[in-house]
Structure 1
Amino acid sequence: MATMDGGFVDCHCHITAYEFAEDLEDVIKRTREAGVKTLISVTEELSEFERVIQLFKSYPDLVAPCFGIHPVQGCGSHDQHSVKIQDLEPALPLFQKYRDDIVAVGEIGLDFTPWYAPTSQEREEQLTVFTKQLQISKDLDLPVNIHSRSAAKVTIATLKEQGITCALLHNFAGKPSVAMEGVQAGYFFSFPPAVCRNDQKAKLIKQIPLEHICLETDSPALGPEKHVRNEPKNISLVCEYIAHVKGITPQMKYSPWC
């Protein structure tokens, strides 16, 4: 659940989010003070790609950039829609341009929540965008950082069908039996501080082997308090919670994500 030298790895965060725009340096300072050594910073839309690269250049010892097109586009706006192939196509050249800088393809996946993808056509298009990005990850020999909501079984089945061997399923909310299919495939699962206020996740965390569990914040979302901006510094809270659920001490344990 940490790096070999004893620091935390936030396996899934959004450090490019507008919520951090005004005080990013202070956020970074608090992140370092909390013992976080690596921020795996995912993207959701094309507009974030160059931004995460800029942050990587500003903080090369901390920020590890990912590129990905999320299954729901326009989050936080009035134009939220299920992803279309047109959302991915302009991003394709950037995967190649920055192939030596990015550490994973993500945040990608499937979101079959009814109000986002009410029709079979929208779900099929999500699958098309998802599989194209899985192919990119194979071409670049990179792991994938996965979003799955109301689509856990299909997501894991698609990963296996596409021959993906290294995947992190962030904030996984599927059934424990489905999670174990992912464990058997060698996949990892990460959980944010919000699990500290959601006892329903305890059953899932108990069943997933510790060596398949990673830590994330998903900041600025899914923090320990509702409607309060989450930060990477809160990573220790989820570490302590998982240790409590597992009945172990919250010692930092190195669990490599691929």
Structure 2
Amino acid sequence: MLVDSHCHLDFPDFAEELDHVVDRARAAGIGRMVTINTRIRRFDGVLAIAERYDDVFCSAGTHPHNAAEEADATLDDYLKAAEHPKVVAIGEAGLDFHYDNSPRDLQAAGFRMQIEAARRTGLPLVIHTREAEAETESILREEMARGGFDAILHCFSSSAGLARAGVELGLYVSFSGILTFPRSDELRTIAASLPADRLLVETDAPYLAPPPHRGRRNEPSYVVETARVLAGARGVTFEEIARQTSENFFRLFRRVPTPVEYATA
């Protein structure tokens, strides 16, 4: 069994064949999928997909790209959404200084608000960070000092320093198809160095399809390819990576019903 801990099944890329996409994931051994909310004002869309499939769950959050668009979002918006049993995480929240689609102060404000939502609900926070490592680490350290919360650095492609800081703070680190790209030797070295109990895999579908699917729309079934590369980077079997990342997933995403084989992990 594998888990796709981060995908975007509500995106238009999947609208015409969502049932087939989910069926292909199941056939590939993907036992759970988490479809991630990027606009809290469109939360109903991701929730509808999670309610449609027993093995699909969702988050509630605002992506940093959309921080200005949803600057009026309140803490209560996230807390209310998180009451639904299919909501298993907050976010994705964070900082993206590569595109700067929203002013940086609004990104930071939204990030801190969603940290508080994670803290209050006990749900893990899904963190997006791009070209904002120092600022991300600073906010995480400040907020952890105010009260602990669970979190994951999703689609990790940052430095070894941020990975180490995340692990030090108790965070998990998730690897996407970027890990499989030919020029990702440094990232594979980072993945090999992290504690086994902090690792997750994801697709971030419809983006970042791994070889041999590069250039096509990504989908949850392709997380198998990322897991294979992660296993190779760490010098373990595919089966070991599948078991370890699934155990880690159920430990972090505690609201997701745990299969019997992982119940005592």
TM-score bracket, normalised by the shorter chain, equals: 0.7 to 0.9
Instruction: State the partner residue of 2:258.
Output: none
For the structure 1 residues 129 and 97, does the alpha-carbon distance in structure 2 shift closer, same or farther, using more than 3 Å as the test? closer
- Residue aligning to 2:228: 240
- Counting only pairs closer than 5 Å after superposition, residues 54-133 of structure 1 correspond to structure 2 as 54-59=48-53, 61-73=54-66, 83-84=67-68, 86-89=70-73, 92-93=76-77, 95-101=79-85, 102-113=87-98, 115-116=99-100, 122-133=103-114
Match of 1:230 among 204, 215, 218: 218
Structure 1 pair 88–12 and aligned structure 2 pair: CA distance change class (3 A): farther
What residue number does 1:199 align with?
A: 185
Match of 1:253 among 243, 248, 264: 243
Query: For the Cα contact (< 8 Å) 2:40–2:77, is it kept in 1?
Result: no
Say which is worse superposed, 146-155 or 87-96, in terms of deviation: 87-96
Q: CA, structure 1 residues 192+40, in 2 after alignment: closer, same or farther (shift >3 Å)?
A: same
Query: What amino acid maps onto 1:220 in structure 2?
Result: P
Partner in structure 2 of residue 77 of structure 1: none
Count of residue correspondences: 238
Q: What's the TM-score, normalizing by structure 1?
A: 0.85
Tell whether the 8 Å contact from 2:122 to 2:150 is kept in structure 1 after alignment.
no
* TM-score normalised to structure 2 length: 0.83
CA contact (8 A) 1:152 1:173 kept: no
For structure 1, the 5+ residue unaligned runs are 1-6, 74-82
Check whether the contact 1:192–1:218 (CA below 8 A) recurs between aligned residues. yes
User: Take 2:101 and 2:35, find their aligned partners in 1: how far apart are those partners?
Assistant: 26
CA-based RMSD: 2.0
Larger displacement relative to structure 2 (138-147 or 159-168): 159-168
Identical-pair percentage: 29
CA separation in 1, counterparts of 2:235 and 2:25?
27
Unaligned regions of 5+ residues in structure 2, if any? Answer: 253-265
1:142-175 Cα offsets, whole Å, 9 max, x none, are: 1101101011232133123212431111112221
Q: Does residue 153 of the first structure (1) align with residue 134 of the second (2)? A: yes
CA–CA separation in structure 2 for the residues paired with 1:143 and 1:181: 17
| Structure 1 residues 64 and 154: alpha-carbon distance in aligned structure 2, compared to 1, 3 A threshold | same
Verify the 8 A CA contact 2:13 2:206 in the aligned structure 1: yes
What is the letter of the counterpart of residue 57 of structure 1? Answer: E
Pair 64,145 (structure 1): closer, same or farther in 2 beyond 3 Å: same
Give the structure with the larger helix fraction: 2
Query: What's 2:173 paired with?
Result: 189
Say which structure, 1 or 2, has more relative contact order (CA 8 Å, 6+ apart): 1
Task: Read off the aligned partner of 1:37 and give its amino acid letter.
Answer: G
Query: Which of 3, 7, 17 is the aligned partner of 1:13?
Result: 7
Amino acid at match of 2:223: I
1:100 deviates by 3.0
| Displacement of 1:38 | 0.8
CA distance in 1, matches of 2:40, 2:75: 6
Q: Say which SS state the counterpart of residue 190 (structure 1) adopts.
A: strand
Per-residue CA distance 1:149-206 (angstroms, 9 max, x = gap) = 0112321331232124311111122210221111111111111123211333112212
